[in-house]
Chains A and B, each alone.
Chain A
Amino acid sequence: MSFRTIINRDGSQWMKGAGPEQDVVIGSRIRLARNIRGIPFPGAASHEDRAKVLEMVKGATALAKNLGQIEFVRLEEVSPLDRRLLVERHLISPQLAAQEKDRAVILRDDEAVSIMVNEEDHIRIQVLFPGMQLMDAWEMCSRLDDLYSEQLDFAFSPDLGYLTACPTNLGTGLRASVMLHLPGMTITDQIRRMLTAMGSFGLVVRGLYGEGTEVVGNIYQLSNQVTLGPSEEEIISHLENITRQIIAQEREAREALRQRGDIEDRLYRSYGILAHARSISSHEAMELLSDVRLGIDMGLFKGLAPTILQELLVLIRPAHLQKMVGRKMDAGERDRQRAALIRERIRTLHD
């Protein structure tokens, strides 16, 4: 499958899939940072050094067996719109999209694997699975890491572990995250307490698109803070344990809402707006989609697939809307296009 096919198809594959605990956990992500010994990190490297890294990684990718159907894509050959599309699908970071020279991404055709070359570190391997599948994602990420380490000499020190551009990633180079949908805890006002508690467990909470992004649609990203000291398995099982607690609390909150009885009206109203609005901002759409998803999980809106939330979250973003229409649109046009898309989706899935 070519890069064109990946970019032109309708939305991200991994978001359509089902996974364990999917009523609360939208997805699990593992990221490993690796650098090649003897070459400056991308931020300080010369053009020649970065080009060398690109060639080395490309060569290693060609030699590595069992990588699956993959595509090595230089960002210079990708249009700015398509780069933003990749960001919206969580396949590359906004930082990588912003600088196209000497950068690349390696994509597996199911979009579960993406490897960024010359972002903050030489190599960043990412595995993204639907639902709660941290350990599976880690095993796959670790296997990919093994394949590359057969070809490349990774910068490593016995005491400090894998050496990274930023000291916050030192050691395992591992960032494990879960993407959580927590409308119950938000509506019942327990979320603030939970968020403050996370810091003391060594975890960080962020919005949907990572560092510095706001929380919209009641979607939170929870990840480990410390990367040096505990082993990868310890980091992941710690995050998993805390996530299980949150899942239990979120389900309790939803049960409390059901018993309170006034929630149905709110959810049906949100559905009503999405089914009829002629123009809608991305922020409002996400808040309302969160309600509809909660309704689906509570047994309302029969016929709507639960994955409508994560699919539409991506499809209603600016780059996806413009790709769909095939031209640049201003904010007003996008709001109308977004409303039309949601109306159509909600109807199709409802029939």
Chain B
Amino acid sequence: MLCDECRQRPAVVHITKIVNNVRSEVHLCEKCAQGREEFAEASFGFPKLIASLFDWGPAVPGVRRDVQCESCGLTQQDFRRLGQLGCPACYEGFAPQLEPLLRRLHGGARHRGKVPGPEGKGIKIRRELESLRRQLQEAIGREEYELAAKLRDEIRDLEGQLG
């Protein structure tokens, strides 16, 4: 069978459409099929890829599960369609569902980069404290007491800054 459109290449894609009970068939080659709108929807686009990593929870027959963001009203369905979240609060509202997606995308990591404004200062100090406390334990383990004393003073200093 030849392609209905170009009449040159063999038809490999067969579409059956039923619109208002009227049935129609189209047979296309691979090339002509690529340009068809019918396939735009079915293509494996980026938003779909993102949404497919989202945890939809076990399907329970008869129960429509649709978690909704309390802040902006975005539903799971919306997320599936957009491949994007609705508002900053969605990250809290959908936290359990987003968890596997974030693990896949970013390896389950925590943010260690830049932090904004005044809130940032406290976070920076807490991160520094975490790292210094680890170094202190290591120094004690190696019996490097001089270094340990220095680290202890630094930790006190920073704790003072946190208030």
B-contacting residues of A (Cβ < 8 Å)? 35, 37-41, 43-44, 120, 142, 145, 149-150, 154-163, 165-168, 170-172, 174, 211, 226-232
In whole Å, how far is B106's beta carbon from the nearest beta carbon of chain A?
4
Flag B24-36 by CB within 8 Å of A: 1 or 0 each: 0000000000000
By secondary structure, the B interface counts as loop
Interface residues, chain B, with chain A CB atoms under 8 Å away: 46, 50, 71-72, 74, 78, 82-89, 91-92, 98, 101-102, 105-107, 109-117, 119, 123
In whole angstroms, what is the CA distance A156 to B111 when docked?
10
Contact assessment for B86 and A142 in the assembled complex, using a CB-CB cutoff below 8 Å: no
Among residues of A, the one whose C-beta sits closest to the C-beta of B85 is A165
* A158 in contact with B123 (CB, 8 Å): yes
Give chain B residues whose Cβ lies under 8 Å from the Cβ of A227. Answer: 106
B112 touches A157 (CB 8 A): no
- Give the contacting residue for A170; candidates B82, B106, B119; CB below 8 A: B106
Considering the chains assembled together, what is the distance between the CA atoms of A161 and B85 in angstroms? Answer: 15
Contact sample, A vs B, 14 pairs, CB 8 Å cutoff? A38-B88, A38-B89, A40-B72, A40-B86, A41-B85, A44-B72, A156-B116, A160-B111, A165-B84, A167-B105, A172-B114, A231-B113, A232-B113, A232-B114
- Nearest-neighbour CB distance to chain A for B93, whole angstroms, equals 12
Name B91's contact: one of A38, A40, A154, A160 (CB within 8 Å).
Answer: A160
8 closest cross-chain pairs (CB), A and B: A229-B109, A161-B111, A155-B88, A44-B86, A228-B106, A172-B113, A40-B87, A163-B88
For B88, the closest partner residue in chain A by CB is A155
Q: Are A171 and B111 in contact (CB under 8 A)?
A: yes
Q: Which residues of B contact A211 (CB under 8 A)?
A: 46
| B71, B92, B102, B116 pick with most chain A CB within 10 angstroms | B116
Question: DSSP class of A's interface residues: helix, strand, loop or mixed?
Answer: loop
Return chain B residues, CB-CB under 8 Å to A145. Answer: 114
Determine the chain A residues whose CB is within 8 A of the CB of B123 once the complex forms: 158
* Contact B112–A230 (Cβ < 8 Å): yes
How many angstroms between the C-alpha atoms of A142 and B78 in the bound complex? 33
**B98–A167 touching, CB < 8 Å:** yes
A41 to B88, CA, bound (A): 7
Instruction: Establish whether residues B106 and A156, one from each chain, have CB atoms under 8 Å apart when the complex forms.
Output: no
Judge whether A156 and B113 touch: CB under 8 Å. Answer: no
Report how far A229 CA is from B98 CA in the complex, Å: 16
Q: Using known A-B contacts A120-B84, A158-B111, determine if residue A168 contacts B105 with beta carbons closer than 8 Å.
A: yes
How far apart are A158's CB and chain B's nearest CB, in angstroms?
A: 6
| Contact of A226 with B84 in the complex, beta carbons under 8 Å | no
Residues A156 and B91 in contact, CB atoms below 8 Å apart: no
State A167–B98 Cα separation when bound (angstroms): 9
B111–A44 contact, CB under 8 A?
A: no
Specify which of A40, A155, A156, A229 is in contact with B115 (CB 8 Å cutoff). A156
